[in-house]
Every structure is written in C-alpha cells, then in structure tokens.
Amino acid sequence: MDFTIPPPVQQLARRVQQFVEEVVLPVEKRVLAGAELTKNDVFALRAQARAAGLFAPTMPVHLGGLGLSIPEWVPVLEAAGRSLIGPLALHCAAPDEGNMHTLHLYASPEQVEQYLRPLVAGEVFSGFSMTEPPPGAGSDPTMIQTTAVREGDTWVLNGHKWYTTNGTVADFLLIFARTRQDVSPYKGCSIFLAPVTTPGIHIVRDVPTIGRHDFGGHVEIRYEEVRLPHSALLGEEGAGFGITQARLGPARLTHCMRWTGIAQRALEIAAGYAATREAFGKKLMEHQSVGFMLADSEMELHAGRLLMHQAAWLLHQGDQARAEAAMTKVFVSEAVNRIIDRAIQICGGTGISRDLPLSTWYESARAFRIYDGASEVHRMVAARQVIKKYAAPPPH
C-alpha cells in the first residue's frame, strides 16, 4: 500500500492550514471568549473559503466540490480540523459532510436537485435523525422505535428522536424509521427525506451537552403523524441499514481526521509551553516525565494517521473496511482524549484556564468516544473479526 500524498494535495493541505490560521482562528478567538457563532458567521467564512478555492473538499467537481478521493481527504480535513470551526468554514463538517456523501450515493435525480445541490453549495443545512432516547435506538440501532406506515402513495411517520445534530439550523432531515415489522430490522428500516417545515415535525429542545455549544445543536424531535410522499424515500424501501453503513464508514473516518487536527494543535501548544516554562531549575521539556508525555502523544498521532490512511485506502478500493474503520475510530477517539489531557497536564494551571483552548477541547472531545458508535460497539466489531480469523473451530 502506497500512502504517498500527491504534491498538489500536500499543497492544498498547507493552504487549508494557512486559511484556518489567518481567517478562522480570529473567529474562534471570539467564540471561545463567549460570542455566539451565527449562520451569518458561517456563511461569511464559507464565502472566503470558496474564494480561496478550498470549499467542499470531499464533494465531486461537478457538484461544486474539489473532487478529492477519500485517501486525499486525510491531510486536508486534518488541516481544517485544527479549529472546531474550520470544517464548518470549508464545508466538511458533520453531519452535512456525511449527508452529502449519502445523497451523492443514493439520491434520485429529483432529490439531487431539491436537497443535494443546495447542500453542497452551502446554502442550507441538514440533519441525520436516527438516535432515539431510551428505550429506542442508541448504540443498538436495531431497537429503532420510530415507524413509517404506508397508506397508498403516502408514508405516515411517528416517533421520538434526540441528538439530531444541526437540528436548530437544519433545513431538511434524513429520518431513519422502521417500515416493516415482519422482518429483521436490518431489512425493515428505511430513510426518508423531509423539510423541517413539514407538518408534524416538532423540535422539542436543543439537548444541553458537555462542552461548548456546537453550532446547530443536538436536538430532540417528535414526529407526530408526519405525512410524506413515497418519493421522500432515499433509495429503496428496506435499505436503511445498508445506506447507513455506506454513510458511517467514511463519516467515522472524517471525525478522526478533523479531531486529529485538534490533537496536533494541542501537542504543539504543550510543546511550546514545555520549551519556555521553567520549573525546578530547568525547562519543563528537560524533565523526563514531560518528555515522555510529548513522545507518547507524537506516537499516537503517527499511529492514528496510519490507521486512517489504511482504512481510507481500503474504502477507496471498494472495500467496506468495517473492522478497519471501527479500529480507527476507537484508537483515534481515545488517543485524542489522551493527547489533549496530557497537553493540559503539561501546561498546568494555564492548561485548565480559558486562556488556552485546551480545556474547551477537553470537554468537547469526550463525546467523540460515544457519537458515531461508542468505543465498546466498535470493539465488538473488531472482536468479531478476531473470532473469524483466529478462533479454533468447535470440536466435532
């Protein structure tokens, strides 16, 4: 496997990092100081990203994107992810990035015009409405409670969702629902497209969460007698799980790419602090305990990048890479938490202050080990592969 990054992509990643430093970080500074990130802020950043030729890197050229392949996403999204606002500015943030990928694969020509083109253009926002409060679907999506019942050419949806990211700004939703009760959930679930203004869609609240408030929030929604035409189906009836798997593989990797940018920046802050701060007669970096923390973070970043590149390469070859994506999500999400934690430890009192962004990243990164599949779920996926590969056959 050759993971060489083509020189034009390397140059693009450097341009993205420069854009983040010069254009995005001043906005980040205001947000970290307590200012609200508004739609107008995002639209202004996107206009500058588009003018700089950095907009929508994961989307095909014919839709208005940069046309990068999945392996080429890795350095570019990491560069964008050096700020939590960077992916929003370049239009490669969750959930819109994953939704664009999904619609590109499965949308009908009419759905492309109504939903995908405006979304790729950055004119609208979207949400993926799948997770439900107990006793509904969480880590186990087969526990889906939301239903869609067909009445002629109309589907009637009823259900209760939460953690629908982007819900406070979304113009339309991808809604995951059970369409058949007489078969396995893996064959009895479907995805529907619906404008948020559709009668019966009720945004209950923006669920308060750990860390800073994310742009778009993570809302609770009730679907009450929502009537949608048959044309609202995304793909085939019963194909919901297949579509979701096609979405989540690349989406999990893009989370890893973006958060690696934050972890890299955290390491740089820690290293800079350790190189200048003196304690007990010498620079912090000269203390072995600090040096080891910096080394551990560097090693984990290196290993995480290799995992991302390999999983991205497999996806690009047409492999589903389920085990590889699962292992990458576990390793990178947990490594990012450790790297930010070490950076705070090295920076001491300054680290836990709001004078640095480390404490904000620390709070926000905790959810990374839960969303798009908790670490335990991905370990289950990896464990199944271990059993298939190495377990001895049962005795006769």
Q: What is the pLDDT of residues 231-260, one digit of tens each?
A: 999 999 999 999 999 998 899 999 999 999
CATH number at 7-93? 1.10.540.10
Rounded to 5 degrees, φ, ψ at 314 are -60, -45
What is the model's pLDDT at position 249?
86
What is the model's pLDDT at position 170?
98
pLDDT band at 81 (very low <50, low <70, confident <90, very high): very high
What whole-number distance in Å separates Cα of residue 14 and Cα of residue 3?
18
Domain 126-238, CATH class in plain words: mainly beta
pLDDT, tens only, 303-344: 999 999 999 999 999 999 999 999 999 999 999 999 999 999
Tokens of 380: 């289950």
- C-alpha distances in Å from residue 157, one per residue of 179, 193, 262, 287, 333: 9, 12, 39, 61, 34
What is the model's pLDDT at position 3?
84
Mean pLDDT across 161-173: 98
What is the model's pLDDT at position 396?
62
Mean pLDDT across 161-179: 98
What is the model's pLDDT at position 394?
66
- Spatial neighbors of 200 by CB under 8 A, at least 6 apart, are 157, 223, 224, 225, 226, 227
**Ramachandran assignment for 217, one of left (phi > 0), alpha (psi -120 to 50 degrees), beta (any other):** left
What is the model's pLDDT at position 172?
98
Mean pLDDT across 272-281: 96
pLDDT, tens only, 105-118: 999 999 999 999 99
What is the model's pLDDT at position 1?
74
Reported in sequence order, the residue ranges of the chain that DSSP labels E, i.e. its strands, are 126-129, 147-151, 154-165, 172-178, 189-195, 201-206, 218-229, 278-279, 282-283
Record the pTM.
Answer: 0.95
CATH number at 241-390? 1.20.140.10
Question: Is 160's pLDDT higher than 90?
Answer: yes
Rounded to 5 degrees, φ, ψ at 115 are -115, -50
Average pLDDT, the chain: 96
What is the model's pLDDT at position 359?
97
List the domain boundaries for the chain.
7-93, 126-238, 241-390
Percent of the chain at pLDDT > 90 equals 96
Mean pLDDT across 69-74: 97
Worst-scoring range by mean pLDDT, 193-197, 225-229, 377-381, 391-395?
391-395
What is the model's pLDDT at position 70?
96
Percent of the chain at pLDDT > 70 equals 99
What is the model's pLDDT at position 395?
65
Question: Is 89's pLDDT higher than 80?
Answer: yes
What whole-number distance in Å separates Cα of residue 142 and Cα of residue 124?
30
- C-alpha distances in Å from residue 152, one per residue of 120, 149, 155, 227, 230: 33, 10, 8, 11, 9
What is the model's pLDDT at position 187?
96
pLDDT, tens only, 345-366: 999 999 999 999 999 999 999 9
